[in-house]
């Protein structure tokens, strides 16, 4: 009987040594969602439309296609953030269209975000400098704490849907890291 107990203990020890690294790796690879892990409510975020500034000098139809990509950029950002359990996206009802930081007075934009119940207001713009180079400004304000969470310039190459999607993914990850606790 003692040899059976000793054998079982050795087997358990061997299994633990084999499984512990795998379990640790799974913990490292598992996505971290503070709001869902803590059981807290998601952070309500409003994403304003992004301003468009095009100085590339391209043909009018190409400039119009770029304007459409910028117009859809906020939607990409809302969609990407909305997939994360720590965020709940709320709609802005601005006093003027388009609902951008460049078109709506800052007080009115903040009031619209607060009226929508948002804690975070995201806004920015994209500047097309040449055929392929886009520069942008991305900002997020914590309306509860009344402080700037993110103030980031960004650039990306490409003037197509995939380039804008990758930029939205990048900015969403950046906001996830900077977001306050719910």
DSSP annotation of 44: E
54 Ramachandran zone, left/alpha/beta (phi>0; psi -120 to 50): beta
pLDDT-derived band of residue 70, with 50, 70 and 90 as boundaries?
very high
Percentages of the chain per state (helix, strand, coil), in multiples of 5: 45, 25, 30
Average pLDDT over residues 79-85: 95
Average pLDDT over residues 145-165: 94
Q: Which of 9, 40, 50 lies closest to 168 in space, CA to CA? A: 50
Q: Give whole-number Cα distances, 164 to 62, 136, 151, 172, in Å.
A: 15, 11, 19, 12
Average pLDDT over residues 64-74: 94
The per-residue pLDDT for range 4-54, each reduced to its tens digit, is: 444 444 433 343 344 333 333 322 333 444 444 445 799 999 999 999 999
Residue 56, C-beta contacts closer than 8 angstroms, at least 6 positions apart: 62, 63, 66, 128, 129, 130, 131
Residue-level pLDDT at 8: 40
The per-residue pLDDT for range 129-148, each reduced to its tens digit, is: 988 899 999 999 999 999 99
Specify the higher pLDDT residue, 115 or 4.
115
DSSP annotation of 31: -
Residue-level pLDDT at 14: 41
Specify the higher pLDDT residue, 180 or 112.
112
Give CA–CA dist 134/115, Å, rounded: 32
pLDDT-derived band of residue 124, with 50, 70 and 90 as boundaries?
very high
136's tokens: 């942008």
Taking the whole predicted model, whether its pTM rises above 0.85 is answered as no
Residue-level pLDDT at 181: 80
Arithmetic mean of pLDDT over the chain? 82
Give me the torsion for CA of 74, 79, 83, 88, rounded to 10°. Answer: 60
Give CA–CA dist 132/120, Å, rounded: 31
Give CA–CA dist 67/158, Å, rounded: 14
Instruction: Give percent of the chain above pLDDT 70.
Output: 79
Q: With 60 as the cut, is the pLDDT of residue 161 above it? A: yes
Residue-level pLDDT at 39: 55
């Amino acid at each position: 009987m003692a040899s059976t107990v000793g054998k079982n203990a050795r087997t358990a020890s061997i299994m633990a040594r084999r499984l512990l690294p795998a379990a640790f790796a799974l913990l490292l690879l598992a996505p971290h969602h503070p709001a869902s892990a803590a059981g807290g409510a998601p952070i309500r975020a409003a994403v304003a439309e992004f301003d468009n500034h095009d100085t590339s000098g391209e043909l009018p139809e190409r400039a119009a296609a770029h304007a459409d990509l910028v117009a859809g950029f906020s939607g990409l950002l809302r969609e990407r953030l909305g997939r994360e359990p720590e965020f709940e996206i709320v709609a802005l009802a601005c006093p003027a269209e388009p609902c951008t930081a460049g078109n709506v007075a800052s007080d009115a934009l903040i009031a619209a975000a607060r009226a929508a119940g948002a804690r975070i207001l995201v806004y920015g713009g994209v500047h097309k400098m040449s055929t392929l180079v886009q520069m942008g400004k991305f900002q997020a304000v914590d309306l509860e704490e009344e402080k700037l969470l993110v103030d980031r310039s960004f650039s990306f190459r490409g003037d197509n849907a995939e380039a804008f999607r990758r930029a939205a993914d990048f900015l969403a990850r950046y906001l996830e890291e900077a977001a306050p606790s719910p």
